[in-house]
Amino acid sequence: MPTSLFPTATASAPRRKSVAAPADPAVTDKARAVHARLCPVYGCPIPYFHSLDPASELISSLLSHRTRNAESGRAFKALRARFPDWEAVIDADVAEIQAAIAGVTWPELKAPRIRDVLVAVRDRCGSLDLAFLAGMDVAAARAWLEAIPGIGPKTSAAVLSFSTLRMPALPVDSHHHRVAQRLGLIGPRIDVGPSHAILRAQLPADWSAQDLYDNHEILMLHGQQVCHHRRPACGRCVLVDLCPSAALTAREP
């Protein structure tokens, strides 16, 4: 494999990562108990929701930031319909990209970001084929991606986990993050980005890509369907005895 596909001494250095401290055994036990309880509720193993190549998953993830899945999905389809391939997006005017993704949150920011990220990938790889990431371990693959401005922990994990790479990375979205905070798996001041390393460290190191995908999906689904942002339905939550937040205030029955 050509060495030009990988970072070199002259490549831009990866941004500083948050390193998780060793997990508290009690919190680790809780994280695994949460997984064991939620899996039967949401039907693990959960089928992957799509099978995009890594570059396409990268675009999909960038579109999804602070945007509902339905809107980001429509924008992704609109981009694919408007441009023959992702190389054509690089050559397009930003206004044309923005028009195609008009339904997402902040299209005026995402349009130039998408093009800039694609340019950076091509400059580093010589193409937009990210299949070589499969030959790296997860930490190295995430560092390679996150060295590109505009790619953070959530996007790098999504590319590795959700795409056809099917690598064992743990994405954390806003629903997943909220549930983890209420359960006390992460502190109240831990943002989504730093939470990735902390929550991954609480789960077995040898878990497969499917195991970690299931963990993300069940916590996300629980946040969407039960542990709502405004009025969590604690009365029908299978985790209520594990959740310190449930005892604080009256919740939706």
| Residues designated as active site | 154, 173
**Where is 194: in which H helix or E strand?**
helix 192-201
Categorise residue 53: left if φ over 0, alpha if ψ from -120 to 50, beta otherwise. Answer: beta
Cβ atoms < 10 Å from Cβ of 141 = 23
Task: Please give the Cα distance from 184 to 187 (Å, whole number).
Answer: 6
Paired tokens of 59: 């675009």
Question: Using alpha carbons only, what angle is made at residue 209 by residues 105 and 11, rounded to the nearest 5 degrees?
Answer: 65
Query: Nearest Cα to 89, choosing from 74, 75, 73?
Result: 75
Task: Please give the Cα distance from 133 to 188 (Å, whole number).
Answer: 33
CB 43 within 8 A of CB 240: no
CB 178 within 8 A of CB 239: no
Q: How would you class 178 by CB atoms within 10 Å of its CB: exposed for 0-12, middle for 13-18, buried for 19 or more?
A: buried
Biggest CA pair distance of the chain: 60
Integer Rg of the chain from CA:
19
Query: Nearest Cα to 86, choosing from 76, 99, 71?
Result: 76
